[in-house]
Chain A
């Protein structure tokens, strides 16, 4: 019985290098070398072991660019030609070395090369991916994937752009290997917050981190790297074992540095006369490696001839040593920790055979010895481990990588930091184009697809890495610039509606990776791995407010969400409280609305709520008995808590809950019995839900803290805004200037809305903008204080308090306003600011809560720390004086309103959450 597990992971990746324009292109040689020296030896040894009946398990990550190159007609043809060229070189080398101590080595190369040529051309028909796939089918390999072009995720900015890297990688995997991948190799083990969520969407069960990525997790994992941890999104993270890395990678003590092993840096490509070697080189212009190396490391300047037999014995001894160490480790930690420890040893596949010539031999010895000579540890894959161990310690992870220093320094330093302003701009532009062209086909669609390819290619971590190391930096710089310039060219042409088909065709032929890409992988509507694909759902919404009952923003929210869900093909049933003048049953824009009559007034509010809930349960019961069925329940706020809980329990349906505000937050604490009851109802509600939706990260934090909810259970979906409700149908621009600029405030008159700051700011604004006046709309207990304060600071004549205004009056005021000011001290979301942005009024807001998340300072508005009238005055003044800047802010705000805060988008994201909870339920 094994005491623990050894997980060997080989990560195979090369950047996409394909140059049809030249017959012999130097950098294509990276690929030919890797095939000849690594991938063929690996596939050969795995095959041999299988034929001999050795049962073992290895995890192999094949990057999408590599899979693409391994199946590319041009490159594999050239690769066969490369093998032929090397065979001719072997022939020449036999003649050249005849009678010398190197002759036997030349023979060895000839024998190997002819075997590999036969394997590649005849046995595998130039398709090594099929070879690897068949090893997976025979349960030897577990093949996983990685990002589309090996993009380093911590330096990719937007969620959509990160998602595109993951989604395209997974899609390519499915095309080659059938099912979706179980695991994911994070390029350079680069993890950053939120990546686990993206991976979970694609059904990924595990990924790998460097040692410190696990050890610095919170809370500290009790078993260190000897057991995986479970992230908030439920994905397992395995940590690299530091000892095994050291033994194989370390420059000083690593096995590959053994004196008997072959010396990498003595290649005849650099040593023999140019006329002799040139015909065999990958490029006719410069010297390069040929793979013919005749010396061993030796340990001194004078290198001795390579002795393959001794080297082989060393490989065997090193495998023995490695295995001995792992067994010691497993036994020790099994005893110490009381678990079945797992040792994760990930390596770059290209180390084996290319850098470390004897690497494949070592691996073969290791596998044989592990499978035959011991039973302390089991050679396994992460899936095997997870099948045996379903429970993992929960942990929150932070940024880490396996690069130098353990973070992002390799890919972000003065040699390569210039890259990111361009890639980040391109990422944002790509997302925006998806908003502009949601259903593009024909020439436009092809141009967008190609733009997506160029962006992905520019994001390869390889370019930044090469710039850092300095060798072949010129090529990496050229590739980066080319892809970005091609991206810019295409997207400019798309925006100008002036696409040059010949250029597009040329680009599609050269950068032909991901032929099946759908550019909408960058869309905000790319949800759960597809563009709004998937089954429509039947949703039961419970909300006490629904038009015509509008108390706060909740009724409007449910109205907008439900009608948009219907527009997107779902069936929505709303059960709400009856209102005298409205129909008990009604179809509102396709939404079925059932209004439950509640007897008695709302005087005794809690009793009224209890009657409402009973009525809701009865109503759903009635519908159910009539044969109506739902896929899930979506409840809004605590007032429907009892009904939501009962219906979910009776029907077994998953319950999703949106918390719009909390009683604690509204009152800055719980101060009386009523609040206590409400607080308790809120707690019960969020705990009975399978998923909780909050409108901002701020609210998510509050809900998680107040109700002790795991952050992974909460999704943030912002509120939306519908410009047409505000009378806006397109860009109309700023209000024309008048002699008396208007500062507009809308909201309840309570201290936490910060109107007092606006009043205090007014005299300061007036110093610079003489005619400035404030219009303060809304009512509330603070109104009298506001009037008094205005009089005190001498601006009573400049302040107009019209009280509560209806929708039409609000729209008129927004149209006339020169700046909208919301200096809140507390704000869970701040829909008014969003409405002002939709009305194309520049905004100055309090830097607090959800408002902070809506407005980006200097991009689409200004934010001021709460309680600073002087700063508030400063920014209001700047906005009023600099109308060019104000217009720029408004344009960006308008863009944001139509994209991020558009109901179409919000409903689609909500639908994505519904699907996830339904799928989880299906799995159970």
Chain B
């Protein structure tokens, strides 16, 4: 019956997985799992995680870390508007060999200001907002939730 189901989720599902997700226009998140066969394969090798910037099919590494004792990582300060993929692999004689590659993801371009013509007039509009706001008035209070 329902009460007999386990109460905790499994640590993993026994399959090779490497997924890269976009958190915002400067941070990427990647998580992974390594199968038993791959763990065996990686035994004795120095595990490493790499982020690559992908451009027109060719990729260039931009960060390498040694992710001991973890199964996920945040890559910070990535470039807005660029495409990336993460790679999990091993280091040997200074070289990086990927065992798993994530799908490439597009980092959104970041917020851009919209300037339809002269900025001056736009400011004037903002002024009229404040003006009207003051005329009618909203006494200030702080909404803690939304």
B129 A157 Cβ-Cβ under 8 A: no
Residue A283 is within 8 A (CB to CB) of chain B in the complex: no
Write out, one digit per residue, whether chain A residues 867-889 have a CB within 8 A of any chain B CB (1) or not (0): 00001001000100010110110
Residues in B with CB closer than 8 Å to A563 are none
* Residues B78-130 near A (CB distance < 8 A): 87-88, 97-101, 103, 106, 108-114, 116-117, 121, 125, 128-129
B78 to chain A minimum Cβ distance, whole angstroms, is 12
Write out, one digit per residue, whether chain B residues 52-67 have a CB within 8 A of any chain A CB (1) or not (0): 0000011100000000
Residue A305 is within 8 A (CB to CB) of chain B in the complex: no
Given the interface contacts A216-B111, A407-B23, does A257 sit within 8 Å of B138 by beta carbon?
A: yes
Residues in B with CB closer than 8 Å to A858 are 16, 18, 38, 88, 98-101
A408 B23 Cβ-Cβ under 8 A: yes
A407 B57 Cβ-Cβ under 8 A: no
B138 A258 Cβ-Cβ under 8 A: yes
Given the interface contacts A318-B138, A417-B29, A885-B41, does A481 sit within 8 Å of B9 by beta carbon?
A: yes
Give the CA-CA distance A317 to B88 in the complex, in Å.
60
B2 A256 Cβ-Cβ under 8 A: no
Write out, one digit per residue, whether chain B residues 65-81 have a CB within 8 A of any chain A CB (1) or not (0): 00000011000000000
Residues in B with CB closer than 8 Å to A865 are 58-59
Give the CA-CA distance A154 to B108 in the complex, in Å.
12
Q: Interface size class for chain A?
A: 35 or more
Residue A25 is within 8 A (CB to CB) of chain B in the complex: no
Residues in A with CB closer than 8 Å to B58 are 865
Instruction: Output the nearest chain A residue to B99 by Cβ-Cβ distance.
Output: A858
Residues in B with CB closer than 8 Å to A261 are 141
Given the interface contacts A398-B109, A407-B23, does A251 sit within 8 Å of B143 by beta carbon?
A: yes
B128 to chain A minimum Cβ distance, whole angstroms, is 6
A499 to chain B minimum Cβ distance, whole angstroms, is 14
B40 A884 Cβ-Cβ under 8 A: yes
Which among A259, A320, A400 is the interface contact of B139 at CB below 8 angstroms? A259
Give the CA-CA distance A507 to B4 in the complex, in Å.
13
Given the interface contacts A222-B116, A325-B129, does A420 sit within 8 Å of B21 by beta carbon?
A: yes
Give the CA-CA distance A232 to B77 in the complex, in Å.
30
Residue B10 is within 8 A (CB to CB) of chain A in the complex: yes
Given the interface contacts A409-B24, A413-B23, does A485 sit within 8 Å of B128 by beta carbon?
A: no
B41 A878 Cβ-Cβ under 8 A: yes
Which of B8, B31, B38, B141 has the most chain A CB atoms closer than 10 A to its own CB?
Answer: B141
Give the CA-CA distance A259 to B142 in the complex, in Å.
9
Which among A223, A408, A425, A863 is the interface contact of B22 at CB below 8 angstroms? A408
Which of B8, B37, B121 has the most chain A CB atoms closer than 10 A to its own CB?
Answer: B37
Give the CA-CA distance A320 to B24 in the complex, in Å.
37
Residue A321 is within 8 A (CB to CB) of chain B in the complex: yes
A882 B41 Cβ-Cβ under 8 A: yes
Give the CA-CA distance A128 to B125 in the complex, in Å.
42
Residues in B with CB closer than 8 Å to A405 are 24
Instruction: Output the nearest chain A residue to B131 by Cβ-Cβ distance.
Output: A328
Residues in A with CB closer than 8 Å to B139 are 258-260, 299
Residue A345 is within 8 A (CB to CB) of chain B in the complex: no
Give the CA-CA distance A223 to B19 in the complex, in Å.
37
Residue A852 is within 8 A (CB to CB) of chain B in the complex: yes
A249 B116 Cβ-Cβ under 8 A: no
**Majority secondary structure of chain A interface residues (helix, strand, loop or mixed):** helix
A412 B13 Cβ-Cβ under 8 A: no
Which of A420, A486, A885, A887 has the most chain B CB atoms closer than 10 A to its own CB?
Answer: A885
A224 B9 Cβ-Cβ under 8 A: no
Give the CA-CA distance A261 to B40 in the complex, in Å.
65
Give the CA-CA distance A738 to B109 in the complex, in Å.
53
B118 to chain A minimum Cβ distance, whole angstroms, is 10
Which of B18, B38, B103, B146 has the most chain A CB atoms closer than 10 A to its own CB?
Answer: B146
Instruction: Output the nearest chain A residue to B111 by Cβ-Cβ distance.
Output: A212
Write out, one digit per residue, whether chain A residues 220-235 have a CB within 8 A of any chain B CB (1) or not (0): 1011110000000000
A45 to chain B minimum Cβ distance, whole angstroms, is 21
A420 B100 Cβ-Cβ under 8 A: no
Residue A848 is within 8 A (CB to CB) of chain B in the complex: yes
Residues in B with CB closer than 8 Å to A348 are 146
Residues in A with CB closer than 8 Å to B117 are 336
B17 A215 Cβ-Cβ under 8 A: no
Residues in B with CB closer than 8 Å to A859 are 16-17, 100
Give the CA-CA distance A222 to B117 in the complex, in Å.
10
Residue B6 is within 8 A (CB to CB) of chain A in the complex: yes
Residues in B with CB closer than 8 Å to A506 are 1-2
A828 to chain B minimum Cβ distance, whole angstroms, is 13
A253 B106 Cβ-Cβ under 8 A: no
Given the interface contacts A858-B18, A888-B38, does A489 sit within 8 Å of B5 by beta carbon?
A: yes
Give the CA-CA distance A856 to B81 in the complex, in Å.
24
A485 B5 Cβ-Cβ under 8 A: yes
Give the CA-CA distance A251 to B140 in the complex, in Å.
9
Instruction: Output the nearest chain A residue to B58 by Cβ-Cβ distance.
Output: A865
Give the CA-CA distance A215 to B108 in the complex, in Å.
12
Give the CA-CA distance A162 to B133 in the complex, in Å.
43
Give the CA-CA distance A849 to B56 in the complex, in Å.
10
Give the CA-CA distance A430 to B110 in the complex, in Å.
34
B2 A510 Cβ-Cβ under 8 A: yes
A321 B132 Cβ-Cβ under 8 A: yes
A485 B25 Cβ-Cβ under 8 A: no
Residues in B with CB closer than 8 Å to A484 are 9
B13 to chain A minimum Cβ distance, whole angstroms, is 5
Residues in B with CB closer than 8 Å to A878 are 41
Residues in A with CB closer than 8 Å to B141 are 256-259, 261, 297, 299
A215 B5 Cβ-Cβ under 8 A: no
Residue A243 is within 8 A (CB to CB) of chain B in the complex: yes
Give the CA-CA distance A26 to B98 in the complex, in Å.
49
B7 A485 Cβ-Cβ under 8 A: yes
Residues in B with CB closer than 8 Å to A888 are 16, 35, 37-38
B24 A243 Cβ-Cβ under 8 A: no
Which among B35, B71, B109, B116 is the interface contact of A336 at CB below 8 angstroms? B116
B26 to chain A minimum Cβ distance, whole angstroms, is 9
Which among A264, A407, A486 is the interface contact of B108 at CB below 8 angstroms? A407
Write out, one digit per residue, whether chain A residues 241-274 have a CB within 8 A of any chain B CB (1) or not (0): 0010000011111111111110011000000000
Residue A92 is within 8 A (CB to CB) of chain B in the complex: no
Given the interface contacts A224-B116, A253-B133, A253-B138, does A412 sit within 8 Å of B21 by beta carbon?
A: yes
Give the CA-CA distance A154 to B72 in the complex, in Å.
18
Residue A857 is within 8 A (CB to CB) of chain B in the complex: yes
Which among B40, B57, B140, B146 is the interface contact of A351 at CB below 8 angstroms? B146
Sample (20) of A-B pairs whose CB atoms are under 8 Å apart: A193-B106, A220-B114, A250-B143, A252-B142, A256-B141, A257-B138, A258-B138, A264-B145, A299-B139, A318-B136, A320-B136, A321-B136, A328-B132, A398-B106, A412-B29, A421-B31, A848-B57, A857-B99, A871-B97, A884-B40
B contact set with A: CB distance below 8 Å: 1-2, 5-10, 12-13, 15-19, 21-25, 27, 29, 31, 33, 35, 37-38, 40-41, 57-59, 71-72, 87-88, 97-101, 103, 106, 108-114, 116-117, 121, 125, 128-129, 132-133, 136-146
Question: What 3 pairs between A and B have smallest CB-CB spacing?
Answer: A257-B141, A858-B100, A407-B24
